[in-house]
Chains A and B, each alone.
Chain A
Amino acid sequence: MNYAQAACQALAEAMRADARVVALGEDVGTGGVFGQYRGLQQEFGAARVIDTPISEATIMGAAVGMALTGLRPVVEMRVVDFALCAIDEIVNQAAKNRYMFGGQGRVPLVARLPIGIWSGSAAQHSQSLEAWFAHIPGLVVVAPATPQDNYSLLTAAIACGDPVVYMEHKELWGMQGEVAAPSSAALGQARVARAGSDMTLVTWSRMLHTALAAAEQAAQQGLSVEVIDLRTIWPWDRELVLESAARTRRLLVAHESVQAAGFGAEIAATAAEELGIPVKRVGGARIPVGYARALEDAARISAPQLLQEIKLFANGADRRRSMA
């Protein structure tokens, strides 16, 4: 099963089990542009798998109204870049509703905002903005990296009573993997994807696979890297990360999103404050994602680049090197 099918299965199971679960957004009736809603309208009908106009603000705002009145909507935003047309509805409405109105209502919705560089799609279809949403009280932020987690975490997100910003990666849709149901993954739980002892490498989403490749290379060169897939950006699993970092005494965070003010800074700063250990960030350059392959590549972090950073860090060379 691939990453898109895993999500589709999670949603279908949730819709079978609970009549309150509905999906709405552009093109969901024809299966979604990534196939992540394939077959759902045939099974559940157009009243529950709702094709909508290209009206992001109202897709998200209507989902808030639905959630307040007894439904559990799953909101399709196609890519996080488009969700910026609905930022008021996410930040001021969905996230604030429960608090601002003194707990009178709940907003149990899942907003699917896929992140990541999507080959050849340039600056407005390639951003990774998880740090923006991690900054907003009221929101849960999730970024699954595998088919199993896309199944498990989407299931958990739909069951969660809070508004969840659910960030799949656009270059993982076709990724194949085993999916065991029922799932046991909970929101807020990170996972040790590879055990190691020389440093802790925290990552999420597609960068997990880059990190695992780099860790494998590092192992061949005698460096044992523990790779943690954070999975939930907020609330992030401080316990697991700090336990690992306390053991390895080095913490490196790698993410595809822009390094400056990225969520890696939060994790690195926490580890430095709590443990007083060396920390390091490896994130994207603060440049828009360009169209031409050479430009797009400049915005990516490759496994060899990450390996180089791992080696420098392990050798105590904490000062940032140029990645050019």
Chain B
Amino acid sequence: MQASTPAANASHGEHLLSLYRTMARIRAFENAAEEASRGSVAAFGATSDAAALVRGPLHLSTGQEAVAAGVCANLARSDYLTSTHRGHGHTLAKGADTTAMMCELFGRAAGSNKGKGGSMHIADFGVGMLGANGVVAAGIPIAVGAAHSAKIRGSRAIVACFFGDGAINRGPFLEGLNWAKIFELPVLFVCEDNRYSATTATDAMTAGEGAAARARGIGLPAETVDGNDVLAVDAAARELVARIRAGGGPQFLHALTYRVKGHVSVDAAAYRDQGEVEQALESDPLKLAGQRLAALGIAAGRIAAADAEARAEIEAAVAAAHAARPPEPAEAYADIQDTGAGQWR
């Protein structure tokens, strides 16, 4: 924080409040989705409940909101983004409509994907969000291709490619970073490091010095940042995005955060030390940002109002999703392919 004069503090505070709002909206969205997902999937000893409104695996990014908010604050609508199975935050922060998103989680025809993707495949191409992905690291080659396409087409769009710490142990990580570098493509790689690969601590599965060191080994400039400090993420992303827009080629951001919830909503994450979780909650990104806002002179009432507005927005989205209709069964046969449409057997 370089702000020191009252005017600079005020401007800084307003910017942080804007980032806080994005985080609060993500938090509210995921809290509501979690509530609606009780009994969503038979895993981790839980049984599935046919009455669950949000079906199947629901991967929550609770506690990781600062990464999505801080990075996406530096993207234009025309920029692209690829995400992971834990992608609600990225999608929302890129500008997707929360009602369409919630409808998607509820499996409604009005969902962003017409009810065909659900949480794991949430997407909004209209805001450049090219899709969450059920396969770890699978977004990396797609992001690289979108950036390559932008370069070929002479577009000024850049691509933000989010992936987790687990992804750095998959082949497409090496392939994609190498590709982006040799073609000097406009990609910001964001390793959102929540320390867990499903139920396994990533550290124990990862040799060497980790994500940023691997990126540097391929020739990408890499920054490591406290991923729970939204201002730090924002500042780092701003610098890296500026370099990309100036033609500096691919850049790498390693954001250290923590997955507060389990792998999926029904996972109580009993395999990890409770002290570790409590410690992480101390540096919750919304809590940290709230403290910082107060220090910058933002009235408590405005912070509370941001929380209330976020909750109200999401409550309305949930109500709309409840009221929305499911897709017609015939929709199962739409949007597959044009050549051979109708020949399903």
Contact = CB atoms under 8 A, between A and B. Distances in A.
Contacts, number: 155
Contacts of A63: 145
Interface stretch (B47-55, B147-155, B188-196, B311-319): B147-155
A103 B334 contact: yes
Contacts of B131: 97, 100-101, 105
A102 B178 contact: no
A173 B314 CA distance: 59
A136 B147 CA distance: 28
A21 to B, nearest CB: 11
Contact of A52 (B114, B138, B179): B179
A89 B150 contact: no
A105 to B, nearest CB: 5
Interface in B229-252: none
A65 B145 contact: yes
Contacts of B334: 103
Contacts of A187: 339
B68 to A, nearest CB: 19
Contacts of A22: 152
A138 B337 contact: yes
A104 to B, nearest CB: 4
A303 interface: no
Interface residues of A, number: 49
Given A55-B175, A101-B117, A103-B114, A139 B142 contact: no
A58 B172 CA distance: 6
Nearest to A105: B125
A304 interface: no
A162 B147 CA distance: 21
A79 B175 CA distance: 19
A71 B179 contact: no
B125 A71 contact: no
A138 to B, nearest CB: 5
Between A67, A68, A104, A140, the greatest number of chain B beta carbons within 10 A of the residue's beta carbon is seen for A104
B28 to A, nearest CB: 24
B208 interface: no
A235 interface: yes
B113 interface: yes
B175 A57 contact: yes
Interface size class of B (residues with CB under 8 A): 35 or more
Nearest to A137: B336
Nearest to A68: B130
Contact of B175 (A50, A58, A67, A99): A58
A235 B335 contact: no
A69 B80 contact: yes
B142 A100 contact: no
Contact of B146 (A66, A234, A238): A66
Nearest to A141: B340
B148 A102 contact: no
Interface string A202-242: 00000000000000000000000000000000110010000
A162 B179 contact: no
Contacts of B117: 100-102
B138 A61 contact: yes
A1 B117 CA distance: 46
A98 B337 contact: yes
Given A69-B80, A70-B149, A102-B115, 14 more contacts: A53-B182, A58-B140, A62-B179, A65-B82, A65-B142, A69-B149, A71-B149, A92-B138, A99-B335, A101-B117, A102-B112, A140-B337, A163-B337, A187-B339
Interface of B: 80, 82, 111-117, 121, 123-126, 130-131, 133-135, 138, 140-150, 152-153, 171-172, 175-176, 178-179, 182, 334-340, 343-344
22 contacts: A48-B152, A53-B175, A53-B179, A57-B141, A61-B145, A61-B172, A65-B82, A65-B146, A66-B145, A66-B146, A66-B152, A68-B125, A69-B130, A70-B153, A89-B141, A92-B138, A97-B131, A101-B125, A102-B111, A102-B112, A103-B335, A104-B112
Interface of A: 22, 47-48, 50, 52-53, 55, 57-58, 60-71, 73, 88-89, 92-93, 97-105, 137-140, 160-164, 187-188, 234-235, 238
